[in-house]
Amino acid sequence: MSLQIEQVQTNKQLRQFLKVPWLIYKNDPHWVPWLYHDRLFAFTKGKHPFFEHAEVDFFIARRDGAPVGIIAAILNPRHNWFHEENIAHFGVFEVLEDAEAAKLLLDTAVSWAKERGVDKIVGPMNLSTNDECGLLVDGFDSPPVIMMTYNPPYYADFLEANGFAKAMDLWAWWADVNETVAHMPQKLLHVVEKVPKRYHLTIRNLRMKDWDNEVERVREIYNSAWERNWGFVPMTDHEFDHLAESLKLILDPEITFLVEMDGKPVGVAVSLPDANQPLHKFHPGPSMLSSYLGAAYALLNRKKADFLRVLILGVIEPYRGKGIDALMYYETAKAAAAKGYKFAEASWILENNDMMNRALAMMGGKVYKTYRIYEKVVK
């Protein structure tokens, strides 16, 4: 049968591109559909702020005219500048169990990268490490939480068969909230008791009525606390403002914390109710109306979610090693339990982030999902 690759160049093609996952996952009980209207905005050039500094092309693989897979090829100069690298990325990789189609999609992304003179291609990223990223390679027995990826097990086989190798694993930690609070390590409790007075710390919830200033405080911490992390790229002001606005309706300020030292913001912990729980139940289809209804249903029912995701927890480098992270772990767990959350996922954590991984293990967490970033040398 005829197999062809098609570059997305029109709005009609982009809409077809966005609908392909519903073909891939139609019989998968754990998949949570993306919101069609949200992804249409995110992948429309000239709308999402990522396109202000990055080059992205989307491709559809068709067999006898019918779509069987998709992929994005990405060149992010900000990444290359920040890390002093010369690489491209790929992402939004979705394909039926069709090895030939998978090879065509991956070869297309590699050729695209080679044309731009890079050394290697890395992914999947949707569309950077500030978005969903990583291929699920372990932990297929439950739905993903908010802003995490999901895929069939055979994707890893396709990547490895086409010369892609592991670059880095990202871990998702699971914890029973009430068990964590009930069995908080004495060492951590001792730190929590001593450090606020020792370092003149205050910890407080996010102030929604002071939104613009709070966003600026979080931005300052975010772009500093993660700057040495593998793959991290600071967001532009426009990107950060867009992300903040997209999370504003979902945020539960009672489980989100800022730590200040003598009035200076030095640490932040942002947790989100798992809006994927109601979204999984509603299961919106690939249309504007269905996705808007799905978004409304998720927002109306987000307070019923018993799962939360610890999305961000970081401390500005000069203030690390003072127990600020322990203070945020403690306050987040205590507040989550008080609000009725039963389970938490801390994600994603780099496999080589020894300090955070040790802390999560000490509090009784376990790695229950692993996501992998792959790379391939471009020859």
Phi, psi of 134 (to 5 degrees): 95, 145
pLDDT value of residue 55: 97
286, 67 Cβ separation under 8 angstroms: no
Residue 248: pLDDT band (50, 70, 90) is: very high
97, 152 Cβ separation under 8 angstroms: yes
The C-alpha angle 243, 45, 229, rounded to 5 degrees, equals 45
> Is residue 193 predicted with pLDDT exceeding 90?
yes
**What is the domain partition of the chain in residue ranges?**
3-171, 174-372
Q: Which runs of consecutive H residues, i.e. helices, occur in 63-153?
A: 77-83, 99-115
**CATH number for domain 174-372, candidates 3.40.50.620, 3.30.1490.20, 3.40.630.30, 3.20.20.70:** 3.40.630.30
pLDDT value of residue 225: 86
HSE of 129, CA atoms in CB hemisphere, 13 A: 25
207, 218 Cβ separation under 8 angstroms: no
Class of domain 3-171: alpha beta
Structure tokens at 175: 């914890």
pLDDT tens for each residue of 135-157: 999 999 999 999 999 999 999 99
Same fold, 3-171 and 174-372: yes
With 0.85 as the threshold, say if the pTM is over it: yes
162, 102 Cβ separation under 8 angstroms: yes
pLDDT value of residue 145: 97
Percent of the chain with pLDDT over 70: 100
Host H or E run for residue 342: none
The C-alpha angle 169, 142, 283, rounded to 5 degrees, equals 115
Q: How many CB atoms lie within 10 A of CB 249?
A: 11
Q: Mean pLDDT throughout 159-172?
A: 98
pLDDT value of residue 247: 93
pLDDT tens for each residue of 19-77: 999 999 999 999 999 999 999 999 999 999 999 999 999 999 999 999 999 999 999 99
> Is residue 1 predicted with pLDDT exceeding 90?
no
